[in-house]
Amino acid sequence: MPFTPPLMPKRCKAIFLDRDGVINHDPGDYTRNIDEFTLLPTVLKSLSILKERGFVFILITNQGGIAKGIYGHKEVEEIHKYLQSILEKNGTPLLDIYYSPHHEITGKSLSRKPGSMMIERALAKHNIDPSSSWMVGDKQRDLDCASPLGVPGVLIPTNADLEGYLPELQ
């Protein structure tokens, strides 16, 4: 009997989202806890439209406040659990969440954006097609972490109306 290789699952397309300034209001000096977490106004509607276009969602966020001792993993995980519950109720759950607790003042890390490790892990784990996916961020480093891997990016102003950028995300 001849060998038949297993079928690879279909590659999916993803929207990689920065958190602070894209998903929630960025106050400029860290979102330290759940009380400071405020979802931006058009995020839920925008994610619903993107889901209709066939995208899955992955959060890619630097959380350097951990390295600086401003807040801890517990606070970040509480925010992410809360965000995930909101997005699940919206029918637009996050497929995965990656965050880097590092900051360059305490040492270099490939996981911290603009390093590409968080995107690399997501691409491999979830069989994502980079050329059909997008990275959405409010800082150039957000896009710089994805572009070497073939993931195009959309740079939006901090705390911008995500809905205004939907035409670019096809």
Instruction: List CB contacts of 33: < 8 A, sequence separation 6 or more.
Output: 71, 75, 78, 79
Question: What's the one-letter identity of residue 56?
Answer: V
Segments in the chain forming alpha helices (H): 43-52, 73-89, 117-126, 140-144
- Give the separation between CA 132 and CA 13, rounded to whole angstroms: 5
Give yes or no: 35 in active site. no
The catalytic residues are 18, 20
